[in-house]
Amino acid sequence: MPLFGTDGVRGLANGEVLTAELALTLAQATAVVLGQGRTAEARRAAGKRLTAVVARDPRISGHFLSAAVEAGLASSGVDVLDAGILPTPAAAFLVGDVDADFGVMISASHNPAADNGIKIFASGGVKLPDVVEKRIEEALTQPKLQPTGAAVGRIRRFADAEDRYVVHLLGSLPNTLDGLHVVLDCAHGAASGVSPETFRDAGAEVTVIGADPDGLNINDGVGSTHLDQIARAVVESGADLGIAHDGDADRCLAVDAQGRIVDGDQIMAILAVALKDRGRLVADTLVTTVMSNLGLHRAMAERGIRVETTAVGDRYVLERMNEGGFSLGGEQSGHVIMSDFATTGDGLLTGLHLAAEMVRQGKTLAELASVMTVYPQVLINVSGVDRTRVADDPGVTDAVAAATAQLGDAGRVLLRPSGTEPLVRVMVEAASEDDAKRHAETLAAVVRERLAL
């Protein structure tokens, strides 16, 4: 089974896989593989040392995992800049900002506190392609670098890491946030210090919840996966909007002044229209996944914006953005990538630009979000089935064709096999909740009957 998943190495911290030993060995293997690139070779030829940025979220397991990663890197002759607790997109930005050879983020994002993960960024702060991750896995069992004496790496505190990131975020804004009252939910995670500071520096009045990390409470009833608290806080405080991050702050969801959720699709719609109006939306194109709401597709078409879709996962969105040179993409879950300013999804950047657009246009978030109509979406997971036959079984394809014909332009059907489990996800969008539910249940029954193991 591959070590790397869709977003680095992730699992139960100190469990069967994600141990201190693995973290150290993985860091040594990374030094071998990423230390062989053209940039690294040019650096050595110029008499410079290899450098890596390391950051983490506040989980208690981050202490021993980051220590093991830094030990592995230093023992391989790599100088380490320890950035401490910072969001994942901050680590990615800093790799490029200080011209480091690569970076390592210790985080399990929105997962519970007991989990953790190791994510590696290449030079420039970009995610590793699959082929490089495979080379690192292969290097785990191969000889490591073993410099001695003055050739071993140094570990230094990256003292101005947070300041560099804040200055970068503020410099990206088209206008200040003066006059805006924002509630921030930091998920007791990596954004707990930097997000409130940045929004205040941008001019906003800030109310903060979920910003008291103790190493065990990350994502626990707070953050972008638990929006009840921030919705209540926005209404009770009379704020203009709420911004919710996840544990490593690479995503952003919002609530309007009435406490209604504004999801990633709506946020992308707002930003796409704003960028197009300012001539900043490259090729008038938005990149998103197949799970994005039909309402987003219709709203963009009405405004002359083309939507390109990819498989589910922000890495696939990013790959397509890089291939086409596009400036905006993301997922319904709140991973939004603004490539003019970031190499990955950045929840702080997204939230700041969403708030800035409210100020620039003098509109409420509800008014901005009305750019698209959200179609009811029903998702049913059908387990215990042969996912490999979903596209070939005539009974399933006929049922999909029938549902699609009945829905016409007012709906959409998507059957998506799981990549790892005997499971098929049945998603239906329709003009009404009842229609979506009826078609989804009918299709799920057909999948269950036709593809049963």
* Residue 159 burial (C-beta neighbours within 10 Å; 0-12, 13-18, 19+): exposed
370 labeled binding residue: no
246 labeled binding residue: yes
Q: How far is CA 81 from CA 53, 154, 361, 432, in A?
A: 5, 9, 41, 53
| Domain 164-369 architecture | 3-Layer(aba) Sandwich (3.40)
Q: 377-450: same fold as 9-159? A: no
> Domain spans of the chain?
9-159, 164-369, 377-450
Measured between alpha carbons, how far is 450 from 304 in angstroms, rounded to an integer?
41
Helix (H) or strand (E) holding 310: strand 306-310
284 labeled binding residue: no
Q: Find all residues with CB under 8 Å of 286, minimum gap 6, and list them.
A: 268, 272, 300, 305, 306, 307, 308, 326, 328, 329
CATH 3.30.450.30 describes domain 377-450: no
* pLDDT of the chain, 453 residues: tens digit per residue: 689 887 789 999 999 999 999 999 999 999 999 987 666 667 766 777 899 999 999 999 999 999 999 999 999 999 999 999 999 999 999 999 999 999 999 999 999 999 999 999 999 999 998 899 999 999 999 999 999 999 999 999 999 999 999 999 999 999 999 999 999 999 999 999 999 999 999 999 999 999 999 999 999 999 999 999 999 999 999 999 999 999 999 999 999 999 999 999 999 999 999 999 999 999 999 999 999 999 999 999 999 999 999 988 888 999 999 999 999 999 999 999 999 999 999 999 999 999 999 999 999 999 999 999 999 999 999 999 999 999 899 999 999 999 999 999 889 999 988 876 789 999 999 989 999 999 999 999 999 999 998
The residue count for the chain: 453
Q: Which residues pair with 122 in a beta bridge?
A: 126
SS3 of 9, please? strand
224 labeled binding residue: no
CATH fold of the domain at 9-159: Alpha-D-Glucose-1,6-Bisphosphate; Chain A, domain 3 (3.40.120)
Q: How far is CA 244 from CA 20, 27, 110, in A?
A: 31, 32, 12
Are 187 and 113 spatial neighbours (Cβ–Cβ below 8 Å)? no
Given 76, 109, 123, 192, which residue is catalytic?
Answer: 109
Active site residue 109: yes
Burial 62-83 (b: 16+ CB within 10 A, else e): bebbbbbbbbbbbbbbbbbbbb
Measured between alpha carbons, how far is 430 from 366 in angstroms, rounded to an integer?
22
Which amino acid is residue 300, in one-letter code?
Answer: M
Q: Find all residues with CB under 8 Å of 217, minimum gap 6, and list them.
A: 113, 188
Specify the pTM: 0.92
Which amino acid is residue 198, in one-letter code?
Answer: T
Q: What is the pLDDT of residue 37?
A: 64
Measured between alpha carbons, how far is 42 from 361 in angstroms, rounded to an integer?
48
Give one DSSP letter per residue of 86-129, joined into a string.
Answer: --HHHHHHHHHHTT-SEEEEE--TTS-TTEEEEEEEETTTEEPP
